[in-house]
Structure 1
Amino acid sequence: MTPAAGRGTSAALAEPLEKFLRYLASEKRHSPRTCSSYREDLKRFLVWVEYQPSAAWRSVTSHDLRRYVAQLSREGLGGRSIARHLSAIRRFYEYLLRERLATDNPALDIRAPKAGRRLPRVADVDQLNHLLDATPDDPLEIRDLSMFELMYSSGLRLSELAGLDLHSVDTRGGEVRVMGKGSKERVLPVGRKALDALANWVGVRQTIAPEGESALYVSRRGDRLSPRSIQSRLSRWGLAKGADQRLHPHLLRHSFASHMLESSGDLRAVQELLGHADIATTQVYTHLDFQHLAKVYDQSHPRARRGRKQGRES
């Protein structure tokens, strides 16, 4: 897409674009940041149009635009970035049509390639064991360890953990009752380590929480701990205990799901535990599981690496 050296931008292309950007700022009252984004994307498109045989806005066809999208893809832009480019072009041509500088909008029926679904990051089992086996230094860390054990033990969402009350946990039955998305309640098993950590926290909670406070996890002031505070405490725990990656609540949930699937292979069970309405949401963890299996295969099979290397070189 790099233009030939020495060729400048023609006024016939540049002037309508500048007027469009002024229109966004003055009439549509878009923020400077939004206008800057439009400018960046459309300037890139302008350079491409300028070096086409016709080099005119009104001459760009949908076929031309598909070639432009293919060029962006070859240059490494993902589906979301290309969709943003197309949105800017579509909006620009609406303006050109209004100003009678074009006869149609070539971007109307062009769609960006689907963005690849980003796989969630998970923590290594040994690393999580190391972090969760660390000894708490004060009452608030006793609380923190209990929260993190429970999140990893039962795959809780951040909002579900923050919403727990004292009566939500049945320590004798080893269960926790949570309110998930769409106000759907589900009952989840709680592991032994999480129950032990929870018992330690309940023992010190009464020295912090005022009488009548229903929240299971409270702040140093005695009121319900907020989701933001839980995020902050988990990140702090990771730094203090030597984690090699940033800890956040979803990392514990993703790790729970991936480790469960690696061990059991039961996708439906993992779906129920996570509270996913659609199994397609849970299926992302089958890709993580395959990555784990592929890694083990590469490390273990005597001819795996050689075969793959030869395949790449052929």
Structure 2
Amino acid sequence: MQALVRMNLSFHTRKAYQRDLLQFTVFLSCKSVGLQQVSHHTLRQFAAQRIEVDRISSSSLQRELSAVRSFADWLVEQEIIAQNFALDFAIQRPNRPLPGMLDAEIMPQILDQAAPEKERDAQLWCRDKAILELFYSSGLRLSELAKLTLAQLDLARGLVSVVGKGNKTRVVPVGSKAIEALQAWLQLRSSWVASEEDAIFVSERSGKGLSTRQIERRVSLQAERAGISQHLHPHLLRHCFASHLLASSGDLRAVQELLGHADISTTQIYTHLDFEHLAKVYDSAHPRARKKSS
């Protein structure tokens, strides 16, 4: 679609928008509504059909409406319509569900577990430990970690350069424990890697970079090996990174930068500090809450 190319979107975003806009244009065709005739009433009908008839989720509808809004912007630029018919149209967003949580005290149980006795399993643990440590140390997204190359890692300065959503680059600190794990893994990696492969995390069989699905499976497996009953996945590690850092620092803006969130409202889902922690902070810090020493 020429409009999508001109909208300066990435390839994957264009493909997603194309699918979303197809739903909208099919709807308009069935209703015999032209682009110049679209109104908020039309959009309400479209939203109702997608939710009530097609049974899509609210988040999927939000994405489709975002595509429609961007498409309408382009139509205005091309002088096909006079104004963006979707500009002020919105549906109520549902409350975002919070991911699960692992207590900070549980993380060492996973990260500091002993290596397996079998040599092959011990080597896999060396790689998987580096993956787990980097997730928890730097709060990376799964897609970001899977695409990491050697050129993005600077262990000497304890930094990793990450290409996140919207192809935006951010530089994130790497903790000392993660640096140790990565150094150990990189020594082993050279014996596994295929020629000219620059992915940091590779498969022991192919020597090629691990897929996101492979990383998910290895994260879950190592949690099970540590005796953790809760399902561990990369986003949960990112969530623990943000929550534990925020609980210790209270600096929401810093956590926003580290996570690569464009809007701080996205970061605010990580502020669900438990009441017990808040009560302890209050009791220790507020002058009228402290008990007098006997």
* 1:192 to 2:173 alignment: no
* Distance of 1:247 and 1:215 partners within structure 2: 23
Q: Which residue of 2 aligns with 1:32?
A: none
Q: TM-score, normalised by structure 1?
A: 0.58
Deviation digits for residues 160-218 of structure 1 (CA, Å, limit 9, x no counterpart) = 00001112110110000111000001110000000000001001101100232111000
* Distance of 1:170 and 1:300 partners within structure 2: 36
User: Aligned with 1:209: secondary structure?
Assistant: coil
* Distance of 2:171 and 2:160 partners within structure 1: 6
Structure 1 residues 216 and 116: alpha-carbon distance in aligned structure 2, compared to 1, 3 A threshold? same
Structure 1 residues 164 and 87: alpha-carbon distance in aligned structure 2, compared to 1, 3 A threshold? same
Find the partner of 2:110 among 95, 118, 131. Answer: 131
Structure 1 residues 85 and 237: alpha-carbon distance in aligned structure 2, compared to 1, 3 A threshold? same
* Distance of 2:240 and 2:109 partners within structure 1: 14
* Distance of 1:150 and 1:300 partners within structure 2: 29
**Paired-residue identity, %:** 47
* 1:284 to 2:274 alignment: no
User: Aligned with 2:105: secondary structure?
Assistant: helix
Q: Which residue of 2 aligns with 1:223?
A: 208
* Conserved 8 A contact 1:177-1:188: yes
* Distance of 2:91 and 2:280 partners within structure 1: 38
Structure 1 residues 86 and 196: alpha-carbon distance in aligned structure 2, compared to 1, 3 A threshold? closer
Find the partner of 1:243 among 216, 225, 228. Answer: 228
> How big is the shift at 1:130?
1.2
Structure 1 residues 113 and 202: alpha-carbon distance in aligned structure 2, compared to 1, 3 A threshold? closer
* Distance of 2:219 and 2:267 partners within structure 1: 24
Q: Which residue of 2 aligns with 1:181?
A: 165
5+ residue gaps, structure 1, are 1-82, 90-110, 303-314
Q: Which residue of 2 aligns with 1:146?
A: 130
Find runs of 4+ consecutive structure 1 residues off by over 4 angstroms.
83-86, 111-114, 297-302
Find the partner of 1:117 among 88, 91, 96. Answer: 96
> How big is the shift at 1:141?
1.2
> How big is the shift at 1:299?
8.4
* Distance of 2:195 and 2:160 partners within structure 1: 22
Aligned AA for 2:171? V
* Conserved 8 A contact 1:164-1:216: yes
* Distance of 1:282 and 1:269 partners within structure 2: 10
Find the partner of 2:260 among 275, 279, 299. Answer: 275
> How big is the shift at 1:114?
5.5
Q: Which structure has the bigger radius of gyration?
A: 1
Aligned AA for 2:97? R
* Distance of 2:171 and 2:92 partners within structure 1: 40
Q: TM-score, normalised by structure 2?
A: 0.62
Find the partner of 1:172 among 156, 173, 182. Answer: 156
* Distance of 1:203 and 1:273 partners within structure 2: 28
Structure 1 residues 88 and 210: alpha-carbon distance in aligned structure 2, compared to 1, 3 A threshold? closer
* 1:295 to 2:260 alignment: no
* 1:261 to 2:235 alignment: no
Q: How many residues align?
A: 196
